[in-house]
Amino acid sequence: DIQMTQSPSSLSASVGDRVTITCRASQSISNYLNWYQQKSGKAPNLLIYAASSLQSGVPSRFSGSGSGTDFTLTITNLQPEDFATYFCQQSYDVAVTFGGGTKVEIK
């Protein structure tokens, strides 16, 4: 299986901050990388697909970049509703795998 490593595992930030989360794949996955937001007790919500494409309805303060093995999710102008856990997911292999998650907390 392709291993996905996310960092950091948690971070504290303030409203209005710029936040960057990284995800590294154990092998090249081209741009088959997706990002999700998950709030407590809820199912994940797709934010970014194909590394950099914004899912319909997702605010433009979310953006993704990268290809191959290294990827980044950036949230600019962090809003109160953005405090949540974020997961990366590779969809290169039929057996998709996820990163361990990054919890974004209020500073």
Partner 1 sequence: QVQLVQSGTEVKKPGASVKVSCEATGYTFTSSHIHWLRQAPGQGLEWMGIINPSGVSTSYAQKFQGRVTMTRDTSTSTVYMELSSLRSEDTAVYYCARPRVGDTRDFENWGQGTLVTVSS
Q: Where are the beta strands (DSSP E) in 15-96?
A: 19-25, 33-38, 45-49, 53-54, 62-67, 70-75, 85-90
Residue 74 interacts with partner 1 (CB under 8 A): yes or no: no
Residue of 17, 61, 68, 98 that binds partner 1 (CB under 8 A): 98
Which residue from 23, 25, 31, 49 is in contact with partner 1, where contact means CB under 8 A? Answer: 49
Residue 2 in contact with partner 1, rule: CB under 8 A: no
Helix (H, G, I), strand (E, B) or coil at 81: helix
Shorter beta-carbon distance to partner 1: residue 71 or 87: 87
Q: Stretches 20-28, 40-48, 66-74, 76-84: which one binds partner 1 (CB under 8 A)?
A: 40-48
Residue 9 contacts residue 103 (beta carbons within 8 Å): yes
Q: Residue 34 interacts with partner 1 (CB under 8 A)?
A: yes
Residue 48 pairs in a beta bridge with 35, 54
Q: For residues 14 and 107, is the Cβ–Cβ distance under 8 A?
A: yes
Q: Does 89 bind partner 1 (CB under 8 A)?
A: yes
Say how many residues make up the chain.
107
Q: Name the residue nearer to partner 1 (CB basis): 19 or 33.
A: 33
DSSP-derived letter for residue 1 is -
Amino acid at 52: S
Of residues 43, 80, 81, 107, which one binds partner 1 by CB under 8 A?
43
